[in-house]
Structure formats: structure tokens, C-alpha cells
Amino acid sequence: MFLVKGGRRLCGEMEVACAKNAVLPILAAAMLTDEPVTIEDCPNLVDARNMLSILETLGCRVEARGKNVVLDASRAESHEMPEQLSKRLRSSIFMLGPLIGRFRRARVSYPGGCEIGQRPIDLHLKGLRALGVTIREAHGMIECDGARLRGADVYLDFPSVGATENVMMAAVLARGKTTIHNAAREPEIRDLQNFINALGGRVHGGGSDRVVIEGVKALGGARYRPLPDRIVAGTLLAAAAATRGEVHLRRACPGDLGAVLDKLRQAGCEVESGETEIFLRARTLRPFEVSTQPFPGFPTDLQAQFMALACAVEGASVIVENVFENRFAHAAQLRRMGADIFLSGRLAVVRGGKLYGADVQAGDLRGGAALVIAALAAEGESRVENVELIDRGYESLENMLAALGASVQRI
């Protein structure tokens, strides 16, 4: 758990680590090549470590060299995902595309992950079927036969991030051209494209709603540094705002945080940005409205943290969650700290004001980060339990916050 003493302003400067949501598919895509791949500054996250364990189980050699990770999948020969590991994180579903691309077959179990709504994988499977893959689902396992894998037009009913990435990875080594229509436009997809192209792939359009993949016979090796984590950056900005602090983030990709910086300004923060830097100063804040959307809209992965911020701002803020149907579990915990939150379906109305320290439990990764933000802004001491969920997506959040002057201790 974290022991948080609230009431201190966050102040200082910090560099933002590489993005979890970029690293996970990139690690999976390393299975597509026989040549060694170096991922620079690979964040030390529980989810990334689990993904590396999956790769090792599949026969990929994994070696840590300082902050870098070197992967060598030349001797990988298994197309079967270990069931226990895949249950532990949803991103294990990312192995489907690379395994089909490389071995023309894959066997995985239904994935685990955060409890935030149904999170089905029908769009992943539909996309793979469009590429000629035969899929059988039985006893919780998914068996894919990709003997007839070939490029095709894929239409996604919803711009799913994971489905876009899976189809991209399956299509890289397929014969012919694949076009993904209504693709997700998240920056992490552009990053996956850049990684695949660094290996010698031919992908373009990543970051737009139409991604084109021209199949190649084989891929080579590369060194690659994934893009900065916009969700970590947004979390630190929300924490600084909630404590009326002042932070300067370096390597922070303001271009990928447009909707978030706009909300912070609406809330009354002073925000300035350079090409890779963000500076925020918060003094007197006002309520705001947030409505989550696929990129470039406001990210659902910052909804909880902004709800915590709203709790620390005098007046009524409104939050609408459009991406996941069940992503307000943190509200009940925030109420334990004195927050006044009205919920109805996908809508939350927060009447912000004063927060008081309390014992609370993280229920999921981003919800956990939200509780830490509320604890930082609260009067008195809080204990935030289940921090192992927070460790899935933040590399020692307590050290990051302590470096900015907060009192957070891991116990």
C-alpha cells in the first residue's frame, strides 16, 4: 500500500518514461523477426514484465541490459500461449497477430486485464478472419489457423486500439496489401508502425483512420525507443493541478495530449508547451466537463484521474465515460475521502470541495492512480491499498511523486 500525507503542492521537473501502451504491442511484434531487437528505456512495469515472460515461454530470448531489453526470437517455435500468464493481462491477446504472422497458427486463451467493462475481442477476431484466418473457439481457448493468411480490406465496427494493432501485426508477413478502415488513431498505433518499419516492414497511415500494410517476406532487427507515456504525463499534470502545484515535464509529447491540456486550461491551469515539454501552474481552479472519446478525444485512461481532480475543485464538474461501460468504480472510493459524486450510467457529476484522508482500495490501474491524486490533495493521511494494480502502468509512482515533493511511501 501507499501511505500518503496530503496537502503538499507538487513542484518540480521530471522526464516522462516510455508508454506502456506502446511497449506492450511492440514487445509482441518482436516475435515477427528472427533478428535481435533492442527496446531502449523499456519501462519496468508489471504488465511489461508479464509480456516478457510470455515471450520467454514462447522461446524468445530476453536479456535486460541496463534500461534496455534485448529480444531474440530466432529460436522461438511455440505458437501456444501459456494459459496462466495470458489470464493475467489483457495484452496477451496481442500475441495472436504476431503468432499467426510468424507460424501461421496460434492458440491462446481468453485474456485477463483490468475489470473495466466487458472488453470483448470480437473485433480482433473479425479482423483476423478478414485476413483469411480460420478461428475456432472452444473451452475458453481460441485456435487460429492462418494457412490461408493474405492481405485484405478490414472494416472495424469501432476504432478499437487492440484490434487495429493485432490486424497490423498479422498483416505484416501476409502476402499482399491490407487496409484497415476505421482504424483507431491513437499515437501508440503510429509508434507500432514506426517500430515495424524500423524492422523493414511497409506500413503507413498509422495515426489516421486508414492504416495500410504491404506484406513483406521477412523482417530484420532494430533498436527502438518507444514514445513517451501520455497517460503518465496526464496523471502527473492532474496531480499537480489537484495540489495547486507547478510542474515541468520533459519528453512529454504535448501534441498527443491536446484534449487533456485543453481541459486543464478550462479548469483554470496555466499551461505552456514546447515541442517535447509541458509546463503547468495551478492556483485557483474552476469546474470543467470531460467526455471521453477515442483519440484525438479525451482519453478514457485519464478519466479517473480527472475525476479525482474534479473532487479537489470547488463547484460542479461533469464527466461522461463513452469508451467503457463500467469505468466509475473509483467513485465509491473517492466518496470515502469526502467526495460528493452523483452517478447515472455513463455520467458522473462531481461537486468538488474539500477531501479528507481515508483508507481506500485501488480497483484497477487508472482508478488506483486517481485515488493517489485525491490523497495528495486531501487533508490528512490516506492509505491506498492494492498498489500492485498501479504498478501495472506506473514505474514506482511513489518515487515520481516524491521527487516532486509529495509525501508518498510504499509500505
Q: Is 91 in the site for ligand UD1 (CB under 6 A)?
A: yes
Strands (E), 253-402: 270-273, 278-281, 289-291, 315-320, 340-344, 347-352, 359-361, 381-385
How many contiguous H segments (helices) and E segments (strands) does the chain have?
14, 23
The answer to whether residue 155 forms part of the interface with ligand UD1 (CB under 6 A) is no
Active-site residue flag, 114: yes
Asked whether the beta carbons of 286 and 267 are under 8 A apart, the reply is: yes
Report whether 46 belongs to an annotated binding site. no
Indicate the helix (H) or strand (E) that contains 20.
Answer: helix 20-29
Q: Which of 18, 42, 60, 114 is catalytic?
A: 114
Nearer to ligand UD1, 9 or 366 (CB): 366
Is residue 90 part of an annotated ligand binding site?
yes
Instruction: For residue 117, state whether it binds ligand UD1 (rule: CB under 6 A).
Output: yes
* Closest to ligand UD1 by CB, 308 or 404: 308
Distance spanning both ends of the chain, measured CA to CA? 5
Q: Which range touches ligand UD1 (CB under 6 A), out of 30-38, 111-119, 145-153, 369-377? A: 111-119
144: helix, strand or coil: strand
The binder of ligand UD1 chosen from 26, 121, 261, 400 (CB under 6 A) = 121
The Cα 249–Cα 224 span in angstroms is 22
DSSP string, 257-298: -HHHHHHHHHTT-EEEE-SS-EEEE-SS----EEEB-STTSB
Considering the complex, state which of residue 102 and residue 124 has its C-beta at the smaller distance from ligand UD1.
124
In terms of phi and psi (left: phi > 0; alpha: psi -120 to 50; beta: otherwise), the region of 386 is left
Smallest distance, ligand UD1 to C-beta of residue 21, A: 3
- The nearer residue to ligand UD1, 79 or 392, going by C-beta atoms, is 392
Closest-by-Cβ residue to ligand UD1 is: 162
Q: Residue 135 is which amino acid?
A: I
Looking at 72, 229, 246, 301, which residue binds ligand UD1 (CB under 6 A)?
Answer: 301
What are the residue numbers of the active site?
A: 114
Pick out the residues of the known binding site for UDP-N-acetyl-alpha-D-glucosamine.
Answer: 90, 119-123, 301, 323
Pick out the residues of the known binding site for phosphoenolpyruvate.
Answer: 20-21
Which residues in this chain contact ligand UD1 in the complex, by CB under 6 A? 21, 24, 90-91, 117-124, 158, 160-163, 184, 188, 300-301, 323-324
